[in-house]
């Protein structure tokens, strides 16, 4: 048996097309053009790539992209002042401050300063609390993408055993709440977990988000399980270059799992697409319009 490969490129492209159609509709019917502001502090190469991709896809979906680039030594008070101006700007419906921030800047303070209604990263404590309480909230993009990918191969997650490896605020913790909303039975594992391989072997759904290259081995996986690999790790190659691998031993998983996401070409593709979904949802909510059909 060879696992179904969950193609994040195709699924994300379809989602972006549906967002673009809804953006066109709300523009036509309500004279509303969603606007996304991305704030980049410093010149981290990976962050530069992410910000460029977000801006390009925002414009391709028919939205307005606002980019704010600040030096790495910017004073925290000045960064907070920019967030305040974006909160007050009626043309901005989504605000994303690219993480990680340079040393000396308090990420939690900056995230908490973002208007929860415009918090398209879903990291503001108000949105995190609403999600944890089972209320409607803007949700972190990567976990949202994980659920969408899972449901392309599992129409219902109700009653399934789900294991999340990793407990970060960005992925692991919000993913717990999203899976509970789908009526899955959820276990969250981490570096202190006893017998992680044994836990994996009981899981119908495995979400690997721990940041350790190829940690989840093929013999950890229950036959037929769905495996969503959130990890992006760079490993050196013999010719001095690097290759991208996930947190799952992909070739091993292909022989056991029912479905698996590749790295690259899996979850990463969905994160930016879900950012567009959140921006559209935020714009409609701020305007008092019904939730868009994406």
- Would you name the residues annotated as active-site residues? 54, 98, 121
C-alpha triplet 67, 9, 149: angle, nearest 5°: 100
Say which residues have a Cβ less than 8 Å from residue 34's Cβ, sequence separation at least 6: 23, 26, 63, 64, 93, 94, 279, 280, 282, 283
**Residue 278, both tokens:** 């959140």
248, 220 contact by CB (below 8 A): no
Place of tokens 């410093």: 42
Rounded-to-integer distance, Cα 44 and Cα 42, Å? 6
Rounded-to-integer distance, Cα 225 and Cα 238, Å? 33
Q: Please, what's the largest Cα pairwise distance for the chain?
A: 57
226-to-66, 203, 232, 254 alpha-carbon distances in Å: 38, 9, 18, 10
Rounded-to-integer distance, Cα 54 and Cα 65, Å? 9
């Amino acid at each position: 048996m060879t696992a179904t490969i969950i193609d994040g490129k195709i699924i994300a492209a379809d989602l972006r097309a549906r967002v673009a159609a809804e953006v066109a509709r709300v523009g036509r019917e309500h004279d509303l053009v969603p606007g996304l502001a991305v704030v980049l502090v410093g010149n981290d190469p990976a962050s530069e790539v992410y910000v460029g991709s977000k801006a390009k896809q925002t414009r391709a979906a028919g939205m307005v992209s606002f980019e704010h680039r600040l030096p790495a030594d910017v004073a925290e008070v000045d960064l907070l002042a920019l967030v305040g101006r974006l909160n007050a700007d009626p043309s901005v419906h989504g605000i994303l401050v690219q993480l990680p921030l340079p040393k000396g800047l308090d990420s939690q303070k900056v995230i908490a300063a973002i208007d929860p209604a415009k918090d398209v990263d879903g990291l503001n404590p108000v949105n995190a609390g609403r999600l944890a309480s089972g209320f409607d909230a803007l949700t972190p993009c990567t976990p949202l993408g994980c659920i969408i990918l899972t449901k392309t191969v599992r129409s219902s997650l109700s009653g399934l055993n789900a294991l999340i490896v990793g407990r970060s605020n960005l992925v692991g913790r919000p993913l717990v709440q999203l899976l509970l909303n789908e009526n899955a039975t959820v276990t969250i594992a981490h570096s202190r977990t006893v017998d992680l391989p044994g836990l994996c072997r009981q899981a119908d759904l495995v979400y690997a988000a721990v940041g350790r290259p190829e940690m989840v081995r093929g013999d950890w996986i229950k036959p037929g399980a769905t495996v969503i690999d959130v990890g992006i790790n760079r490993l050196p190659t013999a010719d001095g270059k690097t290759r991208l691998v996930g947190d799952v031993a992909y070739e091993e998983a292909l022989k056991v799992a029912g479905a698996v996401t590749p790295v690259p070409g899996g979850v990463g593709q969905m994160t930016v697409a879900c950012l567009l979904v959140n921006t559209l949802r935020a714009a409609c909510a701020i305007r008092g319009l019904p939730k868009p059909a994406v």
